[in-house]
């Protein structure tokens, strides 16, 4: 389970604080040094860690202790609040167009991040909310990806629009939107091609699709297992394409979790959902407060 090691380390730090009736400045500083190490070991971005520890320290030292809490509990409360704020505080939803206007969602990310699976997971969620989604296969480089989308779409009871591999992604996206308008579908989800590494032609293709299709929401899918790299990928995609929200996949795995704690601060973009498994139902809304509780145990 993600965060296991971080959780354990933080709990150890706090165990020592919890019992104390009085906390000196030195106690707080020593505890926060341990917190800092634990966060760095969990692969949280170093600038994020630095700012985090600074904020907690400023609040914890010289703070009046609240009624009913001892100073140790107070520090834990502050750490919890700062973790929540680090992850964006509020839960963010995919912004859908009002009424029956068509929302166009573009899924982007590196190959293997979980884009195709997540596209189908999101289609299922939207369907449950009463929307009529259409999944669109814009990956013209890997016939297997088209097939995978078709299989997943069928499992979700969602139509998959595909034109094979002989048309440009821009043409496919435009044709899909027309198709959706003619068939009463109001959310078009474009599954785009990924590459093993970011390259210029991939970026340009995504920019072209985004513009031509009038994309409403660009959702970036990143693999939590890749840690700091996930954050770098998010920064690059956001700078080049513009990202509205992030979906962090594979948080069910044995990830150290640093990406979940860094992405919001580094990119300014919210995490919307987390992938918690390979099954199409394994997608959870991201709640910063619940994630903080999970980490603090
Ligand atoms: P794409 O290349 O970005 O479209 O990635 P895929 O959707 O093909 O996913 C790559 C692999 O990751 C597949 O084996 C998926 O089943 C798996 N996968 C996707 N999301 C998750 C997740 O949240 N948890 C786990 N454990 N596996 C996932």
Q: What's the pTM?
A: 0.94
The whole-angstrom separation of Cα 113 and Cα 105 is: 17
pLDDT surpassing 80 at residue 69: no
Alpha helices in 42-113 (DSSP H): 46-60, 71-86
Look over the chain and give the mean of its residue pLDDT values, rounded to a whole number.
93
- Distances, alpha carbon 33 to alpha carbons 10, 57, 137, 198, in Å: 11, 10, 49, 36
Task: Indicate whether residue 275 lines ligand 1 (CB < 6 A).
Answer: yes
- Which pLDDT score, from 0 to 100, does residue 85 have? 95
Alpha helices in the chain (DSSP H): 4-18, 25-41, 46-60, 71-86, 115-128, 143-156, 169-182, 200-213, 228-240, 258-267, 288-296
In this prediction, residues 119-131 reach a mean pLDDT of 97
Compute, in angstroms, the gap from residue 81 CA to the centroid of ligand 1: 32
In this prediction, residues 151-163 reach a mean pLDDT of 98
Q: Which of 249, 252, 257 has most ligand 1 atoms within 8 Å of CB, for mutation?
A: 249
Compute, in angstroms, the gap from residue 278 CA to the centroid of ligand 1: 6
pLDDT per position as a tens digit, 71-112: 778 888 999 999 999 999 889 999 999 988 999 999 999 999
pLDDT surpassing 70 at residue 67: no
The whole-angstrom separation of Cα 7 and Cα 9 is: 5
Question: Which residue's alpha carbon is at the smallest distance from atom 27 of ligand 1?
Answer: 278
Which pLDDT band holds residue 63 (cuts at 50, 70, 90)? low
The whole-angstrom separation of Cα 59 and Cα 74 is: 10
ipTM for the predicted complex comes to: 0.99
What atom of ligand 1 comes closest to residue 109's alpha carbon?
3
- Which pLDDT score, from 0 to 100, does residue 64 have? 59
């Amino acid at each position: 389970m993600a965060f296991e090691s971080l959780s354990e380390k933080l709990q150890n730090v706090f165990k020592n604080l919890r019992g104390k009736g009085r906390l000196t400045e030195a106690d707080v500083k020593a505890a926060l040094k341990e917190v800092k190490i634990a966060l760095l070991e969990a692969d949280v971005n170093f600038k994020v860690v630095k700012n985090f520890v600074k904020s907690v320290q400023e609040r914890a030292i010289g703070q009046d202790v609240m009624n009913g809490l001892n100073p140790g509990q107070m520090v834990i409360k502050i750490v919890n609040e700062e973790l929540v704020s680090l992850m964006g505080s509020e839960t963010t939803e995919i912004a859908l167009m009002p009424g029956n206007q068509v929302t166009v969602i573009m899924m982007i990310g590196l190959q293997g991040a979980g884009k195709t699976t997540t596209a189908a997971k999101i289609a299922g969620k939207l369907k449950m909310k009463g929307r009529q989604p259409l999944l669109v296969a814009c990956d013209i480089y890997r016939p297997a990806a088209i097939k995978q989308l078709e299989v997943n779409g069928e499992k979700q009871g969602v139509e998959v629009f595909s034109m094979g591999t002989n048309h440009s992604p821009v043409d496919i996206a435009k044709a899909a939107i027309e198709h959706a308008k003619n068939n009463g579908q109001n959310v078009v989800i474009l599954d785009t091609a990924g590459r093993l590494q970011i390259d210029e032609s991939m970026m340009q293709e995504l920019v072209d699709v985004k513009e031509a299709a009038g994309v409403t929401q660009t959702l970036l899918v990143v693999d939590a297992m890749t840690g700091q790299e996930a954050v770098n990928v998010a920064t690059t995609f956001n700078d080049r394409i513009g990202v509205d929200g992030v979906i962090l996949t594979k948080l069910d795995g044995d990830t150290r979790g640093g990406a979940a704690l860094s992405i919001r601060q580094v990119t300014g973009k919210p995490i919307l959902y987390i992938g918690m498994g390979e099954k199409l139902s394994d997608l959870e809304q991201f709640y910063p407060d619940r994630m903080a509780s999970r980490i603090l145990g």
